Amino acid sequence: MPMSLQEALDHADELARRVEEREPDPSDFKDARSLAAMYQAVQARARADRDIVEAVTEARSVGLPWWLIGSYLGTSGEAARQRYSKLIAA
């Protein structure tokens, strides 16, 4: 049977009271070092991605072919062209 509006409000008030009165248990808090490491890794990857775009831009500006750029990126020239040509066209 569904709760009435008053029952739902009373239940919400009771839950709020219990949360407010509860002392936090230190064991509830997790070590956030792994999240910090993940954040730093994502930031490093973003910097590396920017560096790669800059390097590809420079390589193309001096006339290096896509097949050679792709080989340094560990992919085919066509895959490198498809991924980076639109990023360096500006």
81 lies in some domain: yes
18 lies in some domain: no
Place of tokens 């839950």: 15
Q: What is the largest CA-CA distance in the chain?
A: 75
71 lies in some domain: yes
Task: Work out the end-to-end distance of the chain between its first and last CA atoms, rounded to an integer number of angstroms.
Answer: 63
**Total structural domains within the chain:** 1
- Structural domain for 58, as ranges: 43-90
85 lies in some domain: yes
- What count of other Cβ atoms lies within 10 Å of the Cβ of residue 38? 11
Its sign, for the CA torsion 16, 17, 23, 28, is negative
20 lies in some domain: no
SS3 44: helix
1 lies in some domain: no
22 lies in some domain: no
The per-residue pLDDT string of the chain (90 residues; one tens digit each, 9 = 90 and over) reads 566 777 777 788 888 888 788 877 777 778 888 888 999 999 999 999 999 999 999 999 999 999 999 999 999 999 999 999 998 875
11 lies in some domain: no
